[in-house]
Structure 1
Amino acid sequence: MTDNSVDYLNENHKRRLRVNCQEIDRLLAEIETILNASASKSPFPTYRDDLSPVQRKVVQDYIARIRAQMVRVLKGQHIELPMSTVGARQATGQFASTRTACEKLADEIGNFAESAIARAASEVATQWLSGDSQAIDPVSVVKSSLIQVSVEKAQELQGLLKQLAQTLTQVLNDTRDTLDAGNMPVKGELTSSIREMPRLDMGTLTLDLRRPFLLNISKQLAAHQIEKSLQQQIGTTVSEAFWSYQKLLKAWVARTLAELQGQFDSDADTYRAQLERLTGAVGSSQQEKTAIQHDLDELNHWQDTVEVQTSVASRRS
């Protein structure tokens, strides 16, 4: 063997290395799942979020580095990576499930006025207990609390749409990798379509709230009394505001999904044309042509299915 030759692993060694790398990737995925779960707004969290944003970023960076190094090692040994399990058909399913989940969440927000008022009452009680009652403006506290509740719920909507955008981006980049099209830029995430969300408009609130005597005995009882007063004075106003916000969010979700579809189709058209040229190219191996045809079928299936879903959703609205 000459000094310039490369000593590649035999098939058994390659298989063992690939299996070990897949196991490492599975463990990294579990870490990512824990990170995502700990950062969720679930009222029943499985994990406690005790990492700072900087620490979280460090962990994510290390995960990315480990994966990049594994890919370099596998490619250096001419070990083929398995095809992505996230194809356009799965993306199509996620598009439909995201639309349904967003509509359900928007409906929940429309019915969230009563819970929002209860939270606002608790916040007023907390503020009165922790500071000078005369210096606290209960109207500002209530309004700020109601808006904060709407923001938290709306951020869940935004998170669903960002997940969809990331999946669509992965489909495009997987197709690009199949093409080995170095002259085509790697697509950034399609999150540019997810623009600023509408905000809850509470208008001008008129309230007559006074610190209850019960606050000296029990915060819980005092908050309940404040909540009853809020329901009597602004209950209808808050309900109407949340119902209006629900309509705004549904319209925003529909526009955002349409823009995501349009942006994906625009990018996919470029790849689709390249895929069609390569399937008929002379010199391509049968394995390459099969993989390319698979991606072409996926992209075509995506466009056809999403057009049907969009048509059905339009008729419903």
Structure 2
Amino acid sequence: MTVADAAPAEVAKVYNDAGDDYAAYADGDLSRPFAFEGMHAYADRCVWAVLEKKLIDLRASGAGSVRLLDAGCGPGTWLRRLVIRARSLGFSSITARGFDIADAQIQRAQLAARNLSSLPGVNLTFEVGDLADRLSEPDASVDLTLCLYSALSHLPVTRLPETSNELARVTSGYFITTVRPIGSMPTAFVDSIEKVRRLNQDHARDRCEIDLSDGRHIAFPFHQFTAAELRNYFASRFDIEDIRGLDLFHSRFMPDCRWNPVSPSDDSQLIDELERLEKAYATRTEFLDRATHLLLVAGRGRTAAPARVAGSN
């Protein structure tokens, strides 16, 4: 068995073993899906603003139905957010499919969505699936395809051209992805970085190994992207509307309750300044690859707006 053949099983095991805590770590309080609190709050709000805008624009165009695909959906939080918002916007027919390589995460997604999936006009399904395989959706059938928070990074780079072709084949509207850039801060993937005893990212082999303080050992393929590389994988298949860094500053200014005193009651001035800095530097070439995440927004044909140029504000 080659390393590439073993990769899917390694990735699945890590996220299967992560347990119920993974959803809370990755997505926050599942009972409040639009709260966007915690360590990923700023990036999550940015991603949601893009997704919601695409839904609103589609509904404003007169569409009464929408088809959604979440490739690498984990516990299904983002797809459930989209379905909830689509219903509130008045879409009468919502077809949404999420898939993930980790069957334990799919079970959690199915459980969390059981009430939502039974609503009239909603066809919401979660399945076990590999991002490297051919997608079951027909050509140009998906209005909004998402592949968030480094699902692409777990694929061998040799599979990325084929995978990007598949994502483009099924998408008629927009494709939105986030990945870790080469200058990002370290992550433990399934838990907070404070619980890491040892971490090593082998860039030559695109492989990450982590020892956690509870004794768990994590080892799986992981590729960090440059913004130019990410663009190149999709530019020939989509019209690139936007590529930007998410969270250049916010997480670096988050207090740690184990060390910092209680923050002043009014941090509004600091928050406003951080927002200004994020907007000013998110597309600057010298900062883009040092963000916590890279966000790419791409569309097919006339659906896409003109591409932004890295370095512009």
Normalising by the smaller structure, the TM-score range is: under 0.3
The TM-score normalised by the length of structure 2 is: 0.22
When you count helix as a share of all residues, which structure comes out higher? 1
The TM-score normalised by the length of structure 1 is: 0.22
Structure with bigger RCO (C-alpha 8 Å, 6+ apart): 1
